[in-house]
A and B are shown apart, each in its own frame.
Chain A
Amino acid sequence: MVDLTRVWDVMVAGGGNAALCAAITARRAGASVLLVEHAPRSMRGGNSRHTRNLRALHPAPTDVLTETYLEEEYWDDLLRVTGGKTNEDLARMCIRASQHAPDFLKSCGVVFQPSLSGTLSLSRTNAFFLGGGKALVNALYRTAEQLGIGILYDTEVQHIDVQDGFATEAIISHHGFPERVRFKALIASSGGFQANRDWLRKYWGDAADNFQIRGTPYAQGRVLRDLLDQGVHEVGDPTQFHAVANDARAPMEDGGLAMRLDCVPFAVVVNRDVERFYDEGEDVWPKRYAIWGRLIAQQPGQVAFAVTDSKALHNYLPSVFPPYKANSIAELAGMAGIDAGKLEKVIADYNAAVRPGTFQPMKPDDCRTEGLTPPKSHWARLIDTPPYYCHPLKPGITFTFLGVKVNDRARVIMADGKPSANIFASGEIMAGNILGQGYLAGFGMTIGTVFGRLAGEEAARNVRN
């Protein structure tokens, strides 16, 4: 039974990896900790439930990572995806600290996979959680329970009272009942606002209705909005989000990883008006994975159609929902609900532009088109072998980039530039400090773990002083 009459040393808002790393670290440092999770127990863990790995620096091979991955290469990778929209000091600090993230998580009962055999071969840069993110979340909650951290499920943090950068208490809704929690320090680890359609609508209008939210429906951004409204410094472009190409038939929320489709490099992709709109074969899929969600979000109706033939079927992972399948392009267009004549012409024009080459599915090959706009630069093969397949696509939003500004001790910065006296942040709610745009696979969990530990440490120290 969690005591809501006492004054807690630290209250953590949120229940994903970043929240748990913060709570565990603060508790290990001697603070009394209350963790407030919006979701019920069965759906706990925020987006961490859908994750699979974390990116970690390592100067030598470890039991879970192969070869080496050093600071400069890590930094270059980050610089490339963010296009320079990052904070170098914070980013480098995070990269250096990532070396110790796997061992910290192991100390919390998380088990890692020895190596990986899937299509995205990331075992050099990323350590994989055995069983995935939910197994990680389970292990962290078990550790939190064993340490005596108070845990409230089904409890939304609705408001934080902030006076001059000092948070004094929170109003929460505990199983629908309003309660007040008093604490000495606050750690905000409650994620972004991607599941808040009304908020997205402010920037995207009606298109927001067609966005699939890949992760937890509890990412409503309530704490984020509340803190920003009370004078916390904002970071990140509020209009932007990370999005991938999802199956158009996926659930509108919480469809998770399995809804993503990686057929694009081996397909021809058209929009609702049956027009191609981007080079499908620009680069290997892991490097183009994160741009297609936004590309589709910008198309009419926020929908697209990837057309392949039977040659390509085994070049990509099987999809949960079977693709449309037909023996002619016209029939396929009928199933997808797009104009048959136009699709026949698009495929014919494409086939006419395909130049012969040697197909190599795993690296940029010399199969390309000539005289086609936009071109298909790699993996361009004739679409001529029935049955033909069509995967309908919609944007699946992973997270939003808007966040609260923090310093290198995970302390929240107020709009006037002064650090808050007792508010800290970790995870998606502050990831925008480092990730101004783009994404590196497994980097969200790295930020969550590194800043979670920092926030926990600093909050506990704050309480002791």
Chain B
Amino acid sequence: MLQENETTAEARRHMAVCNSCRYCESYCAVFPAMTMRREFSTGDLTHLANLCHGCKGCYHACQYAPPHEFGINLPVTFAEIRAQSYAHYAWPRAMGTLFERNGTVVTLAAALGVTLVLLLTMALVDPSILYTAQRGEGAFFRVIPMWLMVTLAGGTFGYAIIAMLIGGIRYWREVGGGAPAPGPILDTAVDIITLRNLGGGGHGCNDVDDGFSSQKRWMHQAMFFGFMMCFAATTSGAFYHHFLGLRSPHPFFSLPVQLGTWGGVLLCLGTAGLIRLKIITDPVPVAKRLVGGEYAMLSLLFLVSATGLLLLVVRHTGAMGVMLALHLGLVLALFVALPYSKMVHGVYRGLALWRHAREKRGGGMVAAE
């Protein structure tokens, strides 16, 4: 469990005001979840903070927002608690410190990933192959041997999955999720897939200022589904390779290339759109300390997808070798950084939504009225 600290005390003060006001009850899941409670343990605060999608609707509607003396700013307070919970539930625990200067960490990972793969490629592959056009079946593996690709990517991705899984289990146990019940898993999936909580109750949220829009929701959807399509592209590529005996590069209209292309386009658009929103948004309801890590991860995702698309463009030319190394270096960095970056929010947000769906259904907490 998170230790009591200034931020948890501040969040508890916020809850005292919000739970007595309740004007925001129709914005998102946080407020109905808050209404079910009168006392707020650090576990409850961690749950509510991770349930918060950062839509900022409650800040712009708040009669107690700064410069009011109560200074209620839930988006910032909850973002701070989320960041603390990411660090606290990181596995192994010592790696939690990587959330301290997360922008630097993710950026360094990207730089080192690219450098490492470029150096390995140059060391392992004949330069004449690296700089000449490679065509036909197995072209990519002539630049980077398949064993190396599988070892690095599989190893780091597998590690990331295990680390995030352990973090998720510890989070669930300590925050007080109770025995997992499969019941509302469908509600949870719908909440995740539709990003209902970024809907502000139907008309969008406060992406930039006190006006409503659905930009953040759409951009995040583009990024999320783009990411999933790219993942599906890799999986289907592996299926082609191992079960159909078809070696990459595949033709443009094959399933892996189509998924990767459109997934990459969506990922580029989504990440670029989210970066733009971060730049132009009203800075008051934003936790400034944390935006570095968010910019770094969005940029890394953008670069992964952009180099993936460029690779498609240049794959039959002499530039393919370097572009492949660049792309895979960035992918490697993404996998390494995954459990120690903003990306973990997916795990905890999902768990918080699951828990909320259960509380809603079962009246799991004592009702206030």
A314 touching B38 by the CB < 8 A rule? yes
B23 touching A142 by the CB < 8 A rule? no
* B residues 1-59 in Cβ contact with A at 8 Å: 16-17, 19-27, 32, 38, 57-58
CA separation between A116 and B62, bound complex, in Å? 18
A320 touching B23 by the CB < 8 A rule? no
Which B residues are CB-close (under 8 A) to A134? 60-63, 65
A318 at the interface (CB under 8 A from B): yes
* A residues 42-85 in Cβ contact with B at 8 Å: 42-43, 49-50, 52
B63 touching A132 by the CB < 8 A rule? yes
CA separation between A249 and B69, bound complex, in Å? 14
B276 at the interface (CB under 8 A from A): no
Name which residue of chain A comes closest to B203, CB basis: A111
B23 touching A52 by the CB < 8 A rule? yes
A138 touching B60 by the CB < 8 A rule? yes
B201 at the interface (CB under 8 A from A): yes
Cross-chain contact of A256 among B24, B63, B203 (Cβ < 8 A): B63
B123 at the interface (CB under 8 A from A): no
Cross-chain contact of B22 among A42, A118, A139 (Cβ < 8 A): A118
A203 at the interface (CB under 8 A from B): no
Which A residues are CB-close (under 8 A) to B93? none
Which B residues are CB-close (under 8 A) to A116? 25
A318 touching B38 by the CB < 8 A rule? yes
A130 touching B27 by the CB < 8 A rule? yes
Cross-chain contact of A258 among B64, B67, B202, B366 (Cβ < 8 A): B64
A131 touching B61 by the CB < 8 A rule? yes
Given A254-B68, A257-B63, the answer on whether A131 and B24 have CB atoms closer than 8 Å is yes
Given A258-B20, A317-B20, A318-B19, the answer on whether A130 and B201 have CB atoms closer than 8 Å is yes
Cross-chain contact of B369 among A49, A119, A139, A322 (Cβ < 8 A): A119
Give B62 Cβ to nearest chain A Cβ, in Å.
Answer: 6
B211 at the interface (CB under 8 A from A): yes
Contact with B along A319-357 (1 / 0, CB 8 A): 111100000000000000000000000000000000000
Give B254 Cβ to nearest chain A Cβ, in Å.
Answer: 47
A150 at the interface (CB under 8 A from B): no
Give B333 Cβ to nearest chain A Cβ, in Å.
Answer: 40
Which A residues are CB-close (under 8 A) to B20? 258, 317-320
CA separation between A43 and B64, bound complex, in Å? 10
Give A398 Cβ to nearest chain B Cβ, in Å.
Answer: 14
A314 touching B61 by the CB < 8 A rule? no
B181 at the interface (CB under 8 A from A): no
Classify the interface of chain B: helix, strand, loop or mixed: loop
Given A113-B201, A257-B21, the answer on whether A130 and B26 have CB atoms closer than 8 Å is yes
Given A111-B203, A131-B23, A314-B38, the answer on whether A50 and B16 have CB atoms closer than 8 Å is no
Cross-chain contact of B25 among A42, A117, A322 (Cβ < 8 A): A117
A133 at the interface (CB under 8 A from B): yes
Given A42-B67, A138-B210, A142-B210, the answer on whether A132 and B23 have CB atoms closer than 8 Å is yes
Which A residues are CB-close (under 8 A) to B203? 111, 130
CA separation between A42 and B60, bound complex, in Å? 10
- Residue picked from A50, A251, A314, A317, most chain B C-beta under 10 Å: A317
Give B104 Cβ to nearest chain A Cβ, in Å.
Answer: 34
Which B residues are CB-close (under 8 A) to A52? 23
Classify chain A's interface size.
20 to 34
A314 touching B366 by the CB < 8 A rule? yes
B27 touching A317 by the CB < 8 A rule? no
Cross-chain contact of A135 among B17, B61, B202 (Cβ < 8 A): B61
Which B residues are CB-close (under 8 A) to A178? none
CA separation between A313 and B154, bound complex, in Å? 56
Which B residues are CB-close (under 8 A) to A254? 68-69
A321 touching B63 by the CB < 8 A rule? no
Which B residues are CB-close (under 8 A) to A251? 69
Classify the interface of chain A: helix, strand, loop or mixed: loop
* B residues 60-87 in Cβ contact with A at 8 Å: 60-69
- Residue picked from B22, B57, B203, most chain A C-beta under 10 Å: B22
B94 at the interface (CB under 8 A from A): no
B179 at the interface (CB under 8 A from A): no
Cross-chain contact of B24 among A119, A132, A318 (Cβ < 8 A): A132
Which B residues are CB-close (under 8 A) to A300? none
Which B residues are CB-close (under 8 A) to A286? none
B368 at the interface (CB under 8 A from A): yes
CA separation between A130 and B65, bound complex, in Å? 17
Which B residues are CB-close (under 8 A) to A142? 210-211
Name which residue of chain A comes closest to B212, CB basis: A111
Which B residues are CB-close (under 8 A) to A321? 16
CA separation between A258 and B23, bound complex, in Å? 10
CA separation between A134 and B212, bound complex, in Å? 14
CA separation between A178 and B38, bound complex, in Å? 50
Which A residues are CB-close (under 8 A) to B24? 131-132
A114 at the interface (CB under 8 A from B): yes
B16 touching A318 by the CB < 8 A rule? yes
Which B residues are CB-close (under 8 A) to A322? 16
A318 touching B368 by the CB < 8 A rule? yes
- Residue picked from A116, A133, A134, A258, most chain B C-beta under 10 Å: A258
Which A residues are CB-close (under 8 A) to B200? 130
Give B366 Cβ to nearest chain A Cβ, in Å.
Answer: 7
Which B residues are CB-close (under 8 A) to A138? 60-61, 210-211
Which A residues are CB-close (under 8 A) to B61? 130-132, 134-135, 138
Which B residues are CB-close (under 8 A) to A114? 26
Which A residues are CB-close (under 8 A) to B369? 119, 314
B17 touching A258 by the CB < 8 A rule? yes
Name which residue of chain B comes closest to A52, CB basis: B23
Name which residue of chain B comes closest to A50, CB basis: B63
Give A361 Cβ to nearest chain B Cβ, in Å.
Answer: 8
* A residues 21-52 in Cβ contact with B at 8 Å: 42-43, 49-50, 52
Which B residues are CB-close (under 8 A) to A135? 60-61, 210
Which B residues are CB-close (under 8 A) to A320? 16-17, 20
Contact with B along A98-138 (1 / 0, CB 8 A): 00000000000001011011110000000000111111001
A256 touching B21 by the CB < 8 A rule? yes
* B residues 197-238 in Cβ contact with A at 8 Å: 200-203, 210-212
Contact with B along A276-297 (1 / 0, CB 8 A): 0000000000000000000000
Q: A256-B21, A257-B21, A317-B19 are in contact. List 8 more A-B contacts (CB 8 A).
A: A117-B25, A132-B21, A132-B23, A132-B63, A133-B63, A134-B60, A254-B69, A318-B19
Binding site for B on A (CB under 8 A): 42-43, 49-50, 52, 111, 113-114, 116-119, 130-135, 138-139, 142, 251, 254, 256-258, 314, 317-322
A–B complex contacts, Cβ < 8 Å, 30 sampled: A42-B65, A43-B67, A50-B63, A114-B26, A117-B32, A118-B25, A130-B26, A131-B61, A132-B23, A134-B60, A134-B62, A134-B65, A135-B210, A138-B210, A138-B211, A142-B210, A142-B211, A254-B68, A256-B63, A258-B20, A258-B21, A314-B366, A314-B368, A317-B19, A317-B20, A317-B22, A318-B16, A318-B38, A319-B16, A320-B16
**8 closest residue pairs by CB, A with B:** A131-B61, A132-B23, A138-B210, A135-B61, A258-B21, A258-B20, A320-B20, A113-B26
